[in-house]
Amino acid sequence: MRSLRILTLWLGMSLPIAAFALPSALVSLQKQGAVIGQRFAAPDGLTGWVVKIQGRNVIVYTTPSGSYVMSGALVDDGGNNLTEKFSTTYIQQPAAAKLVEQLAKDPTLVDEGDPHAPELYAYADANCSFCNKLWTELRPYVQSGKVRVHWVMLAFLKDTSPGRGAAILAAPDRLAALTADESKFDKQHEEGGIPPLDPIPPKLSTALQEHAAQMAEAGGEGTPLLLYRKAGTWTLVDGMPRDFQTFMSTLNPNVPPAPAH
């Protein structure tokens, strides 16, 4: 997994901050191409901000003077990482809800499982070993009707990823193609189990690229990126859950049937 570089900027001049004006440190970031989003109260006089830098949303903090901006883990005296909490509240949950709204209208998903079961959206690459592990772990849950999985194919890991992703989406039976890719997965070489499609139809290439852009905009750093509903709120999980059984038990059971794709 890639990690965001911790950013700490110092601006020598302090400018008065008028009502609703951006702190001077954020103005400097804005001039460098950052997009300033929602603000919120943070401890000890700090102000939290959602800032998009190089296509990624991050949490940053400005000091009361407005002359300094910093990012990274903000930890309280109890050892709690407040930045993670703020990220969930102000970045992940809104991003998850936006993604689900987009995906509910997407005709290129690969669906499996009971339509009335709790839903799980999974961004996946056909050559991703962690996605293959997810697919394997999900088999008993899918087969017992405990989850409805919507696979969102993208392609970035290898040169063969676009061709294999397109082969799945172009198949008369997408689910059968995905099943073949995962059940015949070459773990040693991290290669999917079906031949890549060549040439790739432009429409399918666009779909794969759009899915990758969605994942990046939501802050995903790799596949699988998972979306699920917990306590009525759509939530993002980046990567394979460590305790898969516990993760599956948190899926909201009261989910309406997904639109047909």
For the chain, what are the domain ranges? Answer: 8-72, 101-249
| Structure token digits, residue 241 | 């859950």
Q: Which of 171, 99, 181, 102 is nearest to 136 (CA)?
A: 181
Please tell me the pTM assigned to this model: 0.74
The tens-digit pLDDT sequence of the chain (261 residues) is: 322 222 233 222 223 333 458 999 999 999 999 999 999 999 999 999 999 888 788 999 999 999 999 999 999 999 999 998 998 888 888 889 999 999 999 999 999 999 999 999 999 999 999 999 999 999 999 999 999 999 999 999 999 999 999 999 999 999 999 999 999 999 999 999 999 999 999 999 999 999 999 988 887 878 999 999 988 889 888 889 989 999 999 898 644 444 545
Domain at 8-72, CATH from 3.30.2320.50, 3.30.300.30, 3.40.50.300, 3.10.450.70: 3.10.450.70
Instruction: Enter the tokens of residue 62.
Output: 């400005």
Hey, which residues does 71 pair with through a beta bridge? 60
Question: How far is residue 198's CA from residue 100's CA, in Å, rounded to a whole number?
Answer: 30
Domain 101-249, CATH number (from 3.30.450.40, 3.40.30.10, 3.90.550.10, 1.10.630.10): 3.40.30.10
Q: Do domains 8-72 and 101-249 have the same CATH topology?
A: no
C-alpha distance from residue 233 to each of 126, 241, 249 (Å): 28, 18, 15
Instruction: Report whether 127 contacts 161 (CB < 8 A).
Output: yes
